[in-house]
A and B are shown apart, each in its own frame.
Chain A
Amino acid sequence: MKAALPKIELTLLALALVLPLFLDDFWVLFATRVLILGLMALSFDLVWGYAGIMSFGQALFFGMAGYCAALLATKLDITSVFVLLPVAALVGLIVAFIVAAIVIFGKRPPNLVFVALGTLTGSYVVERLARGWSYVGGQNGIPSLPRLTAGSYEISEGPMFYYMALALLVLIYVAVRILVRSQFGLVLAGIRQQEHRIAFFGYATQNYKGIAFALAGFVAGLSGGLYAFHEGFVGPGQLGPVLSTQVVLYALFGGVGTLIGPIIGTALIDLLGYFLSQLWETGWPIVLGVLLLVIVMFKPTGLIGILVSARERAGSFGHPRVPTLEPSPPVGKEATRAVAERST
């Protein structure tokens, strides 16, 4: 199968464009939420699928951005979308940069497990602090956020918000796609497969990883800002390891290293959860959990691996005749091997 990815991408885009015409109110809201969380899954794919950084802290950037935007809205009465969303994205960028300064930059390259646990701990600690800090509402969070406005126009949830989220997702998607197919992306892919070798070429690999990590923070932050105003509240749960892990699952389920895979994963997990729950009132999480486990174990390239060849997943860079690198990002057994290699 040649070039399946662009076909999938364009089909989904066309579908997303017309979707609100066929859905009723609730499903438009549902789809908007999928787009927003898909944006966050995209940020995870950038760090794990391309740079090989296992981040269990995407919720940290997502939540911090949401909190900052929510505070601006409730304490300073700022509701303009042109202020709040850029602020959210910037907060994500800055927080991610700070985290990168701790877990990624440094004299020696950190191993995979160190970064995974470092980000997980960060996420956990910040959630706990938020639960105890009364200025940000403690564990109750900040409820009843105002709606975003553009000039005098109020962006209410529904088709309007849907298309705004879609536009932002497409914009970020295209930007990230260009980025990962650029020379920069090639270095990232090299780092993911064999960091030492790339370092021997003279690349400051940690800087590349740090930049990718911070950019992913930017995307997660934007997603967090959108989410807060779409749902109308922020709470400590938006900062914590549960959401961080959820995003990892979205991406693994859909297929990492493809950008579109994690977005498909988000949509499918949300829909599956919804319909399974109608079948078995208290047992649905078990069924869904087992299903996710089966996919991750037996189809480590995710669902998209059914349609997209390993060769295409790795992608081509620059001149078309340049031979592709070793395929597929480290998942399953390869990830274990990567861990072993990096920690030696």
Chain B
Amino acid sequence: MQNDDTNQRLQSYSRRLFLQRASLLTGMVALGGGSYLFNPKGAWAAAPIKVGIATDLTGPISWGGIPNANVAKMVIEEINDHGGLLGRPVQMILEDTATNEQLAVTRVRKLVTQDKVDVVFGGITSSMRNAIKDTIVNRGRTLYIYPQLYEGLECTKYLYCTGPTPAQQCDTFIPWLIKNGGKKFYLPSADYVWPHVLNKYARKVIEANGGEVVGEEYFPVDHNEYSATVNKIMSSGVNVVFNTTIPPGVAAFFKQLYEAGFGKKGGRLACVYYDENALNITPAHEIEGLASCLDYFKAVNDPFGNKVQEKYTKLYGTKNPMTAGSASTGMWRGINLWAESVKAAKSVKREEVAAALDKAKLADGVGGGCEVVPGTWHVKMNMYTAVAKNGKYEIVEKSKGMVDPRECVKA
């Protein structure tokens, strides 16, 4: 999703991550990244299939990168427990991209040129994806799967995006907001790529559904004085605040909006990157009624998702939870889709796996099944609208079937 700053700020709210933050300081000093080999257990006759995972284990986004790596480890162990792929074990090679694009290129190069991995998963921010994609896909001739929710517009052959796109986060959500909030929208935003692109799409959907955008404003990410904006919102009878400001600015904004009585007067606050982790940013009463739309919440309570959550918690504890906002669900989906494609293609060659991946499906998964939309490198999935109540999410709507990502479609 989002960007370095969101996560950087999100993280600052978590005391337990203090140590990682301290390591950021020294991380600035340091160059280099982690590389960890996870050899499949047991005796295997065949040479392993190599999977490269490049994610931010250190630095400001480590809160997202660590669960990403955990999920990857868990899924790959599962694959090996079921006999591997094509009779071969799967070996995972983990690289720390350290929330540093400069360093990441070298780390990813190692995966591609030295380890000669068959596929790379990873990257959380769009800037990270942009930095490493060329090294993997064009210069490295390797398949790349990017797991995070993001602003869309990434249409690169052999680069598959398994997180939600603006269409998936708006198409069911905005009609629900109009029904459960009202027609007048206000779009306060942080000034960077994701909010700009998302708002452009959101505006289209709002207007197509008979709504109206009263205002759209962009602030620096750490802006903390919103009284003019809050006044405008309160005086112009706005029903829905569709927020894309991010931490740390978002905490001040939500507080000022709450104090002005926006929620009490029936206003609806909406924010599409809010997952279980984000609930800790502000006191629960300030965001009572906040609505979010993601591909998975724990509250979805689907048997499949519960099983995966249970296993994840058993293996890695609750310190770095598996949530949709940190790309964990996208990682889960990505590895499983790829594994199915390898089985279908009976090969790990890029061309053949990509051809199979283009029509890959999962019958069931975390939050439900999913399928790749052929020729678009994006994935259709179920989307859920949830509302925060007393610091917990309640699911209020499920999409009718899978939602189309609407990316890379030729007009």
Q: Which residues of A contact B (CB under 8 A)?
A: 24-27, 29-30, 33, 131-132, 134, 137-141, 143-145, 156-157, 231-233, 235-238, 242-243, 245-246, 249, 269-278, 280-286, 288-290, 292
Contact = CB atoms under 8 A, between A and B. Distances in A.
B34 A278 contact: yes
Contact of A285 (B27, B106, B114, B193): B27
Contact of A139 (B4, B33, B135): B4
Contacts of A143: 130-131, 133-134
Contacts of B57: 281-282
Nearest to B25: A289
A258 B29 CA distance: 21
A145 B135 CA distance: 10
Given A140-B193, A231-B105, A282-B62, A270 B133 contact: no
B166 to A, nearest CB: 15
B130 A238 contact: no
B29 A288 contact: yes
Contacts of B4: 139
Nearest to A278: B35
Nearest to B32: A273
B114 A26 contact: yes
A233 B32 contact: no
Contacts, number: 150
Nearest to B28: A242
Contacts of A24: 114
Interface stretch (B96-104, B181-189, B356-364): B96-104
Interface in B1-60: 3-4, 20, 22-36, 57-58
B23 A235 contact: no
Q: How large is the interface on B (under 10, 10 to 19, 20 to 34, 35 or more residues)?
A: 35 or more
Q: Which of B36, B130, B133 has the most CB of A within 10 A?
A: B130
Contacts of B110: 26
Contacts of A233: 101, 105, 130-131, 134
Interface string B57-75: 1100010001000000000
Contact of A283 (B23, B191, B193): B23
B53 to A, nearest CB: 12
A245 to B, nearest CB: 6
Contacts of A232: 105, 134-135, 138-139
B114 A281 contact: no
Contacts of A144: 133-134, 138
Interface of B: 3-4, 20, 22-36, 57-58, 62, 66, 94, 96, 98, 100-102, 105-106, 109-110, 113-114, 125-127, 130-131, 133-135, 138-139, 191-193, 196
A288 B114 contact: no
B32 A274 contact: yes
B113 A245 contact: no
Given A138-B192, A140-B193, A282-B58, A231 B130 contact: no
A132 B192 contact: yes
Contacts of A134: 193, 196
A141 B22 CA distance: 27
B114 A25 contact: yes
A140 B134 CA distance: 13
Given A233-B130, A237-B100, A282-B58, A30 B193 contact: no
Q: Which of B4, B20, B109, B133 has the most CB of A within 10 A?
A: B109
Given A143-B130, A145-B134, A235 B30 contact: no
Contact of A289 (B30, B94, B101): B30
Contacts of A289: 25-27, 29-30
Contacts of A282: 20, 23, 34, 57-58, 62, 66, 96
A145 B138 CA distance: 10
Contacts of A270: 31-32
A131 B246 CA distance: 15
Contacts of A275: 32
9 contacts: A140-B127, A141-B101, A233-B131, A242-B100, A273-B31, A274-B33, A274-B35, A284-B34, A285-B98
Contacts of A245: 28-29
Nearest to A232: B134
Contact of B30 (A157, A280, A285): A285
Q: Which of B26, B27, B33 has the most CB of A within 10 A?
A: B26
A276 B32 contact: yes
A286 B32 contact: no
B23 A286 contact: yes
Contacts of A242: 28, 100
Contacts of B27: 285, 289
